[in-house]
Copies of this chain bind each other. A is one copy, B any other.
């Protein structure tokens, strides 16, 4: 197996470089190469409609098995689509990168299968020929290890779409072979980076988005049953892995226990994928549920407006404003967030958390707080340590022992005791009314 490591510092540097380059004149515009990727990972061709931006977009993706620490102490194995790497280097990151193209572009996405299992790419929500639909056996044979296949289509319907592997989807989708695919409306000189590694903030907004919005975020939600994800790292023989993942593991009995936003759970979400805003701005949130549960997304202190469903615009007069949005499996919603103090859309500056309101899903394996909680962080509320300025220390949540259940969730002082006495234990108490079972956390 091939392991991938993300060099976060390099990527941050690249994001900033790409952003500045995007401001150049179109004829000189050249996409900044993502450090660690091959020169073929993204190649741009001709400007077919003569409007100042390239309309032939070629992207090469590999399939990489990667381990990531999603919250303190929890390393999870994922499979991701990653831009073609350079030598032994890859830029693999869960979720698979957000792909961005422009309406009218001739898009070629080449799946170069570097993995030990067959895969495909299903383009979900886009308009494309039937033989580009990526459904194994139905529209094409699955792409075998060592082979490649190019998905080719002209981008037609602008919006927030989805791409994912369609081979054995109850396993491959939930292992992380998922990413957002955005078709930007056609505009002159519409130059932007075509991949957003790890999703999150889109720094070089496309022209149409800039007409209406000040900031833009790509938010990919996932749910993980880590008992599935442990299999590939535990065995060496791909036949053994095939048998265990695809024929023994019963996905109908899965119980997701890790809940991710852009590949991270709280508290890492606060650091890696906060929603930074300023009063008076309009912020576009592109949201994809790449998991198998329905999420109920709640924005504290804010009432966003639903502008798009599955990439298609909701007509102006029909746009609902509320505070808990449904996002079912594979659905996409675009929200317009209006930070400020208008008292209808927003409550005023500060640090406002945003999360699935399924209470059991804002835990890390049953320990709260965790899961996909992030925060809407107003200008001036981000600290120098890269974390939002909040009321108390969050240190204990960065201690892996907390999510192993080894640290009391409340200060022992409130019980007139100490952590030491906590740890020394106390006499086992016989429950009043007799013993009973409840679901217990598994030891890691």
Q: Chain A: residues with CB nearer than 8 A to chain B? A: 116-118, 122, 124-125, 127-131, 133, 135-142, 144-145, 156-157, 168-171, 173-174, 227-228, 230-231, 233-240, 242-244, 246-257, 292, 294, 296, 298, 300-301, 303, 309-312, 314-315, 317-318, 320-324, 326, 328-331, 343-344, 347-353, 357-363, 365-369, 375, 388, 390-394, 397, 405, 408-412, 414-415, 417, 422, 426, 429, 431-433, 436-442
- CB within 8 Å for A137 and B390 given contacts A174-B359, A439-B253: yes
Contact B246 A347 (CB under 8 A): no
Task: Check A347 against B128 for contact (C-beta < 8 Å).
Answer: yes
Q: Report the minimum CB–CB distance from A297 to chain B (whole Å).
A: 10
A250 near B365: Cβ-Cβ < 8 Å: yes
Which has the most chain B C-beta neighbours within 10 Å: A129, A133, A138?
A138
29 A-B pairs whose Cβ atoms sit less than 8 Å apart in the complex: A124-B300, A127-B301, A129-B347, A129-B348, A130-B301, A130-B347, A133-B350, A135-B300, A136-B392, A138-B351, A138-B391, A170-B359, A171-B368, A227-B436, A231-B438, A236-B429, A240-B426, A248-B405, A248-B438, A249-B366, A249-B441, A252-B255, A252-B256, A292-B359, A294-B326, A309-B320, A317-B317, A329-B357, A329-B359
Taken together as a complex, chains A and B put the C-alpha atoms of A242 and B118 apart, in Å, by: 47
Are A300 and B133 in contact (CB-based, < 8 A)?
A: yes
Question: How far does the Cβ of A116 sit from chain B's closest Cβ, in whole Å?
Answer: 8
B-chain residues with CB within 8 Å of residue A239 when the two chains form the complex: 408, 412, 415, 417, 422, 426
A301 touches B170 (CB 8 A): no
Would B392 and A137 count as touching, CB distance under 8 A? yes
Query: What CA separation (Å) do A16 and B437 show in the bound complex?
Result: 44
Residues of B within 8 A of A117 (CB): 410
Query: Which residues on B sit within 8 Å (CB–CB) of A230?
Result: 431, 433, 436, 438
Most buried by B among A118, A135, A238, A362: A135
Q: Are A353 and B301 in contact (CB under 8 A)?
A: no
Partner of A390, one of B139, B247, B326, B412: B139
Indicate if the CB atoms of A248 and B429 lie closer than 8 Å: no
Q: Shortest Cβ distance from A315 into chain B, in angstroms?
A: 7
Cross-chain contact A439 with B249 (CB below 8 angstroms): yes
A348 to B154, CA, bound (A): 13
> Is the pair A320, B328 in contact by a Cβ cutoff of 8 Å?
no
Q: Which of B129, B142, B318, B357 contacts A350 (CB 8 A)?
A: B129
Least CB distance from A269 to B in Å reads: 12
Residue with the greatest number of chain B CB neighbours at <10 A, chosen from A240, A309, A322: A322
Q: How far is the CB of A309 from chain B (nearest CB, A)?
A: 5
Task: Please indicate the chain B residues that have their CB under 8 angstroms from the CB of A144 in the complex.
Answer: 411, 414
Report yes or no: B331 in contact with A410, Cβ–Cβ below 8 A: no
Contacts of A362 in B (CB 8 A): 169-170
Inter-chain contact B431/A235, CB cutoff 8 Å? yes
Kindly list chain B residues whose C-beta atoms are within 8 Å of the C-beta of A139. 350-351, 390-391
Q: Are B252 and A361 in touch, CB under 8 angstroms?
A: yes
Instruction: Give complex CA distance A350, B28 in Å.
Output: 41
Other-chain residue from B128, B392, B415 in contact with A301 (beta carbon distance below 8 A):
B128
